[in-house]
Amino acid sequence: MEKSPKVYAEEDLYALLRPVTNKKGMTLRSSIESPICDVRIITSGGSTIPAHSSVLGSVSTVLEKILDRPRKHQYADKIVPILGVPCDSVFAFVRCLYSSRCTEEEMNKYGIHLLALSHVYRVPKLKQRCSKGLIKELTIENVIDVLQLTKLCDVPDLYVKCMKLVSENFKAVEATDGWKFLQVHDPSLELEILQFIDEAESKQKRMSKKIEEGSLYLELSEAMECLEHIFTEGCTSVGPCDVEVTKNKEPCKKFCTCQGLQVLIRHFVQCKKRVNGGCSRCKRMWQLLQLHSSVCDNSDLCRVPLCRYLISEKNRQFNSLELIASENFTSRAVMEAVGSCLTNKYSEGLSGKRYYGGNEYIDELETLCQQRDLFIRVSGTSIYFESMPYRLDESTGLIDYDMLEKTATLFRPKLIIVGASAYPHSVGAFLMMGMAHISGLVTASVLADPFEYCDVVTTTTHKSLRGPRGGMIFFKKDPVLWVDMECTINNAVFPGLQYWNWIWR
């Protein structure tokens, strides 16, 4: 049995009528002057709601345009169809237009419908009220339905609240009928939700990382202040030579950090393991000294050890250029990785008698460290090798290959280092080339590839490639002259020499 259309009486709206004003605030007419309803609102169920055109037109520009449409008869009633929602929701909508307010009961019953109607008919105040009301009524069960509506009705604050609720309770939302319906009928919104969740998780990770970094920066900043305090004024047990440190001295304000640094400094001075790079605590102290030199703005008067030398060497590298391949200044990323500008310099020879220029600050540092040289183990690998140089043709300046072949046949070396030679295997020798100065040109195919001819190729990572100070060894994977190059070179590097990097070729 079909329900008969519901009839709404004019008296239901009279109590809500208020003076009608235009956009300038001027009163047009009041409910007392115009009690007669001249508009009929038709709902989906066939029900009719009487209303006043002056009220509807004043609160909604869309309704105003509908009412201004020409009619077939001059005295015919104005009809406004509001379809697609229940009759009671339409009546609640009209009541809200008349009273400019919406009760909690109406919001609980018709909130979603009122939001849709306020969007369609452009009633911003009611739309805002519905948005706030629906935020309070959001649940795991209805959040997907509300979210779909917010996309249609352009309600950004409600949209964000829905997304956050879904993100925080995704497992529970995933089990609802709304989510299953969404997967079938609106995959684009499903993707949007998943992207929002992923972005929210990424943002949370970034925030956590930022908080951790901020905490670390504060700790490092405090450590830098304590370093200056210890080496300038002295603290409870450590201080500069010209300042007397008494055990009765009161602890400083940052005692915990200061005490830890003093323990680290005493260990750094006495430790013998760090000579071979085997002490993690000494490495940490060295990193703190490097960090201080990078942030210190008063190096001339700073009393923190090594600060002046590190800053002076960095300035020298930035402001001058030694015209040799090994002086190539490395990239910022490498500097950040290796941690010190001192790794960016060849320092062959004795202090004051270097083979390369630009070592004045390195010399000062080495002078300070000479006492520790007594503990360093000297490499004696050179005593195991005998070498024989080959000469150039003095008239041409080129290698005399005929003489080189005769020399190789007589000397019968185990390794010939190029230059260039076509005769190593005929005398039972390996052919090795050092291409440190031209590795960039070989990489760019400007010069010929030596790997086709050589059994071993060596290069550095810093001359042409702008890397840190280090070397690379390339070798043939297949045996050469019945020798397993891979095993032989690997054993020589580790545990033999230990400080070269190697790459298979």
- Could you tell me if 15 and 110 lie in one domain? yes
For residue 457, report the phi and psi dihedrals to the nearest 5 degrees. -130, 130
Dump pLDDT digits (tens) for 321-344: 777 766 766 776 666 656 667 766
Dump pLDDT digits (tens) for 215-254: 888 888 888 888 888 887 777 677 666 666 555 566 677 7
How confident is the model over 197-213, as a mean pLDDT? 90
User: Do the domain assignments include residue 160?
Assistant: no
Closest C-alpha to 305, from 259, 262, 260, 365: 365
17-21, 130-134, 267-271, 322-326: least confident range: 17-21
Query: Is the Cβ–Cβ distance between 135 and 161 less than 8 Å?
Result: yes
- CB count, 10 Å around CB of 101? 12
Q: Is 181 or 314 the better-scoring residue by pLDDT?
A: 181
Read off the pLDDT band of 166 (50, 70, 90).
very high
How confident is the model over 52-80, as a mean pLDDT? 81
DSSP structure string for 233-249 = T--SS---TTS---TTS
Q: Is 158 or 19 the better-scoring residue by pLDDT?
A: 158
Burial of 475 (0-12, 13-18, 19+ CB in 10 A): buried
DSSP structure string for 43-54 = -TTS-EEEE-HH
- Could you tell me if 220 and 103 lie in one domain? no
Examine the fold and report which residue of 340, 359, 378 is the final residue of a domain before the chain moves on. 378
Examine the fold and report which residue of 330, 346, 378 is the final residue of a domain before the chain moves on. 378
User: Do the domain assignments include residue 417?
Assistant: yes
189-203, 232-246, 371-385, 389-403: least confident range: 371-385
For residue 36, report the phi and psi dihedrals to the nearest 5 degrees. -85, 125
User: Do the domain assignments include residue 353?
Assistant: yes
pLDDT for 162: 92
User: Do the domain assignments include residue 150?
Assistant: no
d(CA 143, CA 183): 15
| CATH code, 444 | 3.40.640.10
Three-state secondary structure call for residue 439: helix
pLDDT for 420: 40
What b/e readout covers 61-77, taking b as 16+ CB neighbours within 10 angstroms? eebeebbeeeeeeeeee
Give strand ranges (E) for 45-111: 48-51, 78-81
- Could you tell me if 129 and 24 lie in one domain? yes
Q: Give the torsion sign (CA, 116, 117, 123, 128).
A: negative
Q: Is 383 or 132 the better-scoring residue by pLDDT?
A: 132
Q: Percent of the chain at pLDDT above 90?
A: 7
State yes or no: pLDDT of 30 exceeds 60: no
| CATH code, 190 | 1.20.1020.10
d(CA 440, CA 431): 21
* pTM of this prediction exceeds 0.85: no
Read off the pLDDT band of 28 (50, 70, 90).
very low
d(CA 201, CA 432): 53
Read off the pLDDT band of 468 (50, 70, 90).
confident
User: Do the domain assignments include residue 143?
Assistant: no
User: Do the domain assignments include residue 164?
Assistant: no
Q: Percent of the chain at pLDDT above 70?
A: 76
Query: Is the Cβ–Cβ distance between 332 and 343 less than 8 Å?
Result: no
pLDDT for 165: 92
Query: Rg of the chain's alpha carbons, rounded to an integer?
Result: 43
DSSP structure string for 135-147 = HHT--TTTHHHHH
Number of domains the chain contains: 4
State yes or no: pLDDT of 429 exceeds 60: yes
- Could you tell me if 268 and 345 lie in one domain? no
Query: Is the Cβ–Cβ distance between 305 and 231 less than 8 Å?
Result: yes
For residue 455, report the phi and psi dihedrals to the nearest 5 degrees. -80, -35
d(CA 107, CA 134): 8
- Could you tell me if 332 and 290 lie in one domain? no
pLDDT for 353: 77
- Could you tell me if 132 and 21 lie in one domain? yes
- Could you tell me if 125 and 228 lie in one domain? no
- Could you tell me if 358 and 299 lie in one domain? no
User: Do the domain assignments include residue 165?
Assistant: no
Pairing mode of beta strands 78-81, 39-42: parallel
Dump pLDDT digits (tens) for 256-303: 788 888 888 888 877 776 555 567 788 888 888 888 887 887 767 787
- Could you tell me if 204 and 318 lie in one domain? no
Dump pLDDT digits (tens) for 367-377: 776 666 556 56
pLDDT for 380: 61
Query: Is the Cβ–Cβ distance between 130 and 102 less than 8 Å?
Result: yes
User: Do the domain assignments include residue 274?
Assistant: yes
Q: Is 272 or 34 the better-scoring residue by pLDDT?
A: 272
**Containing structural domain, residue 192:** 186-241+250-305
Examine the fold and report which residue of 333, 349, 378 is the final residue of a domain before the chain moves on. 378
- Could you tell me if 370 and 425 lie in one domain? no
- Could you tell me if 354 and 408 lie in one domain? no
| CATH code, 15 | 3.30.710.10
- Could you tell me if 133 and 21 lie in one domain? yes
How confident is the model over 405-419, as a mean pLDDT? 78
